[in-house]
Chain A
């Protein structure tokens, strides 16, 4: 099978890879770049566990082809902490126990970060609708919503 050469930016680093044109961005991240933080829960864009941002847009990486990453800037869960300093959302998720099994957590963190960048003062409804594309089967969402709202409040105060 003929592979295609792609140059892109992932979590701030320039990376190059060869991929089959049928491979999804999620396959590339996990199998070619060893970034297994993004998870495949459904493969149909319904669960959000593979959420990443592509040029600051929130995307289900299972619905994007690896070849489409050419020239783009991609951020995964592995790229949202600043060195050893966790992103405020990451800290709050631990503090609030906004995760139980943890499989949906990477996607939810990426999605929530994307929300707060666009809307630093979301209502509960806005958080719930923004995160409606990220399934969590363990928590009932209560603690997740609280963690996001509280992070937003802290970040507003800090800025």
Chain B
């Protein structure tokens, strides 16, 4: 569905900033999140987790736990489906260990009891005998010849021969001749970079309430970014038909990609089937950190050649991503996003997916892109410094535009990178003076965005109001966007539209709320469903007037005859048509089911000022500006919120957040006190500029905005910190000890 050229500016509702429809629920405590559900006769589940990073499970003795008063069921791997293959087999292995525990926190058994306290006591009574095996948690160490092998069957056909079995997937792409490109450069810089794993850090731990009878019929309430994928996966893992499991998505307390898979849901279903009672499981924070998706840690080498005038002649990147104990680290996204902001004749990128004894990585906002961007944009900054060039001018000179052959293959359609760079250059932040001890950094970032399978239903009520059922959980205000888009098409007030997140039994399949797809794809589907309803309304008006259907058109919420030849009739408003709909042909609703494929790619440019204390190595972010192309901001306030949230998470990733493993392979910082995400006093106000270069693949020009905002911060902050500290930081996070070490080392060298 292409951009509607007639309608990209004169919007009545799009671009306004009304209160979100679920605002009252969220500020009064009325909203029902994952852990807020209760059911009659409900039991509480608790999971037994491995204390070892890598161990063979010799035996599991559940007898003592079963004897505890109040315990109703205990499950192990034997209680799940057999002979699964592909992704489902990895998910099951992660949900409940089979022969081996593969990381500290890996689930090995679970119990359900009449209270949460009894369940916790019972979990401690499950006795597991382990044979401890050698482990590896670092990505470079996991690729070394002598690294312990996690599984020698995981590597797929893409992996070149001679690599360690822990390298499970390989990616190689690019075009041109990089060697010739480097030879023609005035300056070539090659550097190595590392980033540590960070967690999505959503404030709501995973939670679910499950019922499964021995008739194979089940109900599941859970916090998820995608209840259809949860339905499909859970059904497969417990061995029932997909349609027999009805999944309702609770309100979701943050996800950022980390709630796109299942962890405890199949376990709750298995416990419920065995006990014949509803079972609720809520993770505690330590379980969230130890056993759900952090992002990958990385080791990267980037080489870029540049002419004295700033032209990039060639670029090459090697991206090694550690993704935990199972295949799936987003190394191909690292590789494909790394150089996407630049029009390059010679570019080459290689990715390695490496398994290690850590929890299975899960998507985290633009998975793979922020790390790659950190390495690439650091090298570009260094080249600019050495050649005495302005970092924004250099980026403008090389920027990808409409028609550019992207580093990952296809040619870009209309994109807004140049517009974000121009806006950055013109922004007062870029020319503001810095104080002593401060440094300024800029960086660009890219994310693909995604369409995905989408269904929306829209029903008109007799009083002329409207209800929309969408299948994408509202993770940050999307109900408001859907209502605005429907209001725009129907021409009725925003307040007269109620948006509901439908469950899996009441709407067609919907892909997950990920890939920055919701406002794009569910929005497009909402527009199409509303247009479907409008078509039916026009038919009713045509019948009422006794004129052909194509002689009626819709404007300002009314059916109108199209031109003088159609006849002279007064416009009929929507409410008048719906009032009689029972008598004029029955209920009127609109539907749309498809897989929209015009998700426009997105670019952003960030400017940041940082101040480094040379005594302690502590960094303060003193000013931050996000400039990003939204295509068209449906509800600008929530677009700004996405920009600000992405920047804040990026600041945490750049400066503080990391998974720290001990020699024993156990996670050492599994609570929010030790894994410290940015708090209000760590951050400045975050300025935003919304650039609007319409996406030709959406009727109103929308591009997804959720993910791009976390791509530039790592590099922008590293560039600012390196400028402020006078030494290049190549290992994230740039925590005070790491900065201090770099300062001390430089002082010794100097």
Q: Which residues of A are interface residues toward B (Cβ below 8 A)?
A: 1, 20, 22-23, 27, 30-31, 34-44, 46-47, 49, 76-78, 81, 86, 90, 93-97, 99-106, 109, 124-125, 127-129, 131-146
Determine the chain B residues whose CB is within 8 A of the CB of A105 once the complex forms: 26-27
Determine the chain A residues whose CB is within 8 A of the CB of B642 once the complex forms: 100
Per CB-CB distance, the 9 closest pairs between chain A and chain B, nearest first, are: A37-B29, A103-B253, A140-B644, A140-B648, A102-B26, A46-B672, A94-B23, A100-B476, A77-B29
Q: Which residues of B are interface residues toward A (Cβ below 8 A)?
A: 17, 19-20, 22-33, 35-36, 38, 115-117, 200-205, 251-256, 282, 284-285, 475-477, 637-638, 640-642, 644-649, 671-673, 677, 679-683, 685-686
A4 to chain B, nearest CB (A): 14
Q: Give bound CA distance, A42 to B677, whole Å.
A: 13
Q: Give bound CA distance, A125 to B685, whole Å.
A: 11
Centre residue among A30, A135, A138, A140 by max chain B CB count within 10 A:
A140
Please judge, given known A-B contacts A40-B35, A40-B282, A138-B641, whether A144 and B671 are in contact too, CB under 8 Å.
no
Q: Are B648 and A106 in contact (CB under 8 A)?
A: no
Determine the chain A residues whose CB is within 8 A of the CB of B30 once the complex forms: 37
Q: List 19 A-B contacts (CB under 8 A).
A: A23-B117, A36-B32, A77-B29, A94-B19, A97-B641, A100-B642, A101-B476, A102-B22, A103-B253, A128-B681, A132-B682, A135-B203, A140-B644, A141-B683, A142-B686, A143-B637, A143-B644, A144-B680, A146-B685
Centre residue among A38, A49, A139 by max chain B CB count within 10 A:
A139
Determine the chain A residues whose CB is within 8 A of the CB of B31 once the complex forms: 102
B168 to chain A, nearest CB (A): 30
Q: Are A49 and B685 in contact (CB under 8 A)?
A: no
Q: Are B672 and A44 in contact (CB under 8 A)?
A: yes
Determine the chain B residues whose CB is within 8 A of the CB of A102 once the complex forms: 22, 25-27, 31, 251, 253
Q: Are B26 and A143 in contact (CB under 8 A)?
A: no
Q: Give bound CA distance, A37 to B251, whole Å.
A: 13
Return the contact of A137 from the options B116, B201, B477 (Cβ within 8 A). Answer: B201
Q: Give bound CA distance, A44 to B671, whole Å.
A: 8
Q: Are B252 and A36 in contact (CB under 8 A)?
A: no
Q: Are A101 and B24 in contact (CB under 8 A)?
A: no
Q: Give bound CA distance, A78 to B36, whole Å.
A: 14
Q: Are B32 and A137 in contact (CB under 8 A)?
A: no
B280 to chain A, nearest CB (A): 10
Q: Are B203 and A41 in contact (CB under 8 A)?
A: yes
Return the contact of A135 from the options B38, B200, B672, B685 (Cβ within 8 A). Answer: B672
Q: Are A42 and B254 in contact (CB under 8 A)?
A: no
Q: Are B27 and A90 in contact (CB under 8 A)?
A: yes
Return the contact of B203 from the options A23, A104, A145 (Cβ within 8 A). Answer: A104
Q: Are A101 and B204 in contact (CB under 8 A)?
A: yes
Q: Are B35 and A39 in contact (CB under 8 A)?
A: yes
Please judge, given known A-B contacts A101-B253, A132-B681, A137-B254, whether A42 and B671 are in contact too, CB under 8 Å.
yes
Q: Are B672 and A78 in contact (CB under 8 A)?
A: no
Q: Give bound CA distance, A141 to B648, whole Å.
A: 8
Q: Are A78 and B681 in contact (CB under 8 A)?
A: no
Determine the chain B residues whose CB is within 8 A of the CB of A128 once the complex forms: 680-681, 683
Return the contact of B285 from the options A44, A86, A144 (Cβ within 8 A). Answer: A44
Name the CB-closest residue of A to B255: A101
Q: Are B202 and A137 in contact (CB under 8 A)?
A: yes
Determine the chain A residues whose CB is within 8 A of the CB of B255 once the complex forms: 101
Centre residue among B27, B36, B637, B683 by max chain A CB count within 10 A:
B27
Please judge, given known A-B contacts A23-B117, A47-B672, whether A42 and B27 are in contact too, CB under 8 Å.
no
Please judge, given known A-B contacts A101-B476, A137-B649, whether A41 and B641 are in contact too, CB under 8 Å.
no
Return the contact of A133 from the options B36, B117, B477, B679 (Cβ within 8 A). Answer: B679
Given contacts A100-B476, A138-B641, A141-B683, 14 further A-B contacts (CB under 8 A): A37-B30, A44-B672, A47-B672, A76-B29, A94-B23, A95-B19, A100-B254, A101-B252, A102-B31, A103-B251, A125-B681, A137-B254, A137-B648, A138-B645
